[in-house]
Chains A and B, each alone.
Chain A
Amino acid sequence: MAANPASRWGLRVLGLGYLTLLLLIPLVMIFFKTFEDGISPPLDAVTSPDGLHALKLSLLMVAIAVPLNTIFGVGCALLLVRRKTKLNPVIDAVINLPFAVSPIVIGLSLYLLYGVGGWFAFISEEGFKILFAVPGMVLASIFVSLPFVVRETVPVLQEIGTDQEQAASTLGANGWQTFWKVTLPSIRWGVAYGVVLTTARVLGEFGAVTIVSGAISGQTQTLPLFVEKQHENFNDPGAYGASLVLALLALVTLFAMNMLKRKEDA
């Protein structure tokens, strides 16, 4: 169907209008609200000891959860695509659980498991604190962002097929060499996209982390929790400032990937 110019423009305006209303205007509003009373209120909030600690903690979550989920995700995708077993459909369904279950529920389930009376309560009793501490928050972050790398990698693996891997093996490469020299370079953009999504998800995670962390200022408060606390305390410029930092971090991640990709294509 060759659309006429009028309907083509109509569709564009409709699409862009929808996006503007739902996504752009709220984000732009935050930007303006942040600097309504000048630059110092948001800056003070973000550079306060609690604010800096929250930023550091968020980045720590990313530094731990993203690599772990990347390794797991690529391995799991290889298993799902390259090794056909009877368990595959089950694994495939289980991996989607974090998408289907509300983060609050995930947080509560961790709370039940590691809290007083839970199956794994003995770990805390031995002195290794999980709930209301960094380990619990890492667990929650890993849980909620688990599926992204798998979901982005599986279709790319299916698309490249096995020819190149088989060619590598006839040329003398063992499984490990084949993976590093042939498979991984072929799927890298799928993996990279999964990493970006995982990073964004970990940075923004609120529900599950709230439950397991207890949101103790200066101790177990990530940036989203800090934003919420500032908002609760009627320090809106502080909340907006921290939100802006979060948004900027997400943008930096996206740009980093775009730059890498452009360099690759050139």
Chain B
Amino acid sequence: MGISVEGANKRFGDFQALDDVSIEVPDGSLTALLGPSGSGKSTLLRAIAGLEDLDSGLVTINGENATGKPAQKRGVGFVFQHYAAFKHMTVYDNVAFGLKIRKWDKAKTSARVHELLELVQLEGLAGRFPSQLSGGQRQRMALARALAVEPKVLLLDEPFGALDAKVRKDLRTWLRNLHEEMHVTTIFVTHDQEEAMDVAGQLVVMNQGRVEQSGTADELYEHPANEFVMSFVGEVNRLGDHFVRPHDMEVVLDADERTQEGLVQRIVTLGFEVRVELVLSDGTEVWAQLTRAELQRLELREGQIAYLRPIQAKSFNGSSSSNLDGASTPLGSHDGGDAGLPAAV
């Protein structure tokens, strides 16, 4: 059940949009396809919806082979980044569209449309035209329209991409709550890792037409499969072959054998969190995430020398990860020594 894609390939001219992609989306889950632009996430979503034909591969929706089926027979609800509102129809007629196609009778259609408009909090606006709505309202209308026909799965293509930050956050929460109520299998595409982690239970990270890793937000953050996932999901510093999260960078004032010297360039206070930007002796720019209390205890100033001690670092040369919270594990010793952190000069 749910959605599964096996061995999907899609080429646009010289561009390989999907390169042997396989994903499994459990029934009733809320899954995010996360990746930078051009990673193939939208193409994959559109292939599931039947809006794009695959060169090869298999799409299964709720146990039924949907490959090659036209979009109108797949029973999916699709929400577009730019709403795709029917501009010549009222909000009511937009939401009723799928029901009219299915030849529902008037009374039933009206009841269903009003139920959905209530769900998306647009009750009073049934007679308006899309041009009279705000972006957030339009997108909620589009969602109601997609949900009206009780789709087997709901697919959202960067649904909040065209909205401003505040509306975006509200709609995020709202979508999560909606999914908890309806439990319809949902996939949504985003390039925003925070949004993906906030909304979805399950994430699929894509890059250059391939799936890099899938799992829960915690799994991806704690055990990234590779360099790309590590740097795309969450912030990261690169020290030679190692990757260190900014909150895994300890800043101290005294040097020892595991520290590296750095010049404090900039200190940015972002409320509770403090961002300390340093330049290492080899020119590498890194930043450490501190709390306000830590900053006050260290009495750091811009322009002074401080020492960095990575608590935890990852290296993907041998798919190994080193845990450095014990003093017995000096960084750089785990894979032959040559892949370690560059020594302070």
Contact = CB atoms under 8 A, between A and B. Distances in A.
Contact of B80 (A163, A172, A182, A186): A163
Interface in B39-78: 49-51, 70-74, 76-78
B87 A164 contact: yes
Nearest to B81: A163
A163 B102 contact: no
Interface residues of B, number: 27
A170 B87 contact: no
A172 B149 contact: yes
A172 to B, nearest CB: 5
B101 interface: yes
Contact of A168 (B70, B73, B97): B97
Most buried by A among B50, B77, B101, B145: B101
B316 interface: no
B328 to A, nearest CB: 58
A129 B302 CA distance: 96
A167 B87 contact: no
Contacts of A186: 87-88
Interface residues of A, number: 16
Interface string A24-40: 00000000000000000
Contact of B86 (A164, A170, A174): A164
Contact of A169 (B72, B80, B82, B88): B72
A167 B76 CA distance: 10
B84 interface: yes
Given A166-B71, A167-B80, A172 B86 contact: no
Interface of B: 49-51, 70-74, 76-78, 80, 82-88, 97-98, 101-102, 142, 145-146, 149
Top-9 shortest CB links A-B:
A163-B84, A171-B98, A167-B84, A170-B78, A169-B71, A185-B88, A172-B101, A169-B72, A172-B72
Given A170-B51, A170-B146, A185-B88, 12 more contacts: A163-B84, A164-B85, A164-B86, A166-B78, A169-B51, A169-B70, A171-B97, A171-B145, A171-B149, A172-B73, A172-B102, A173-B101
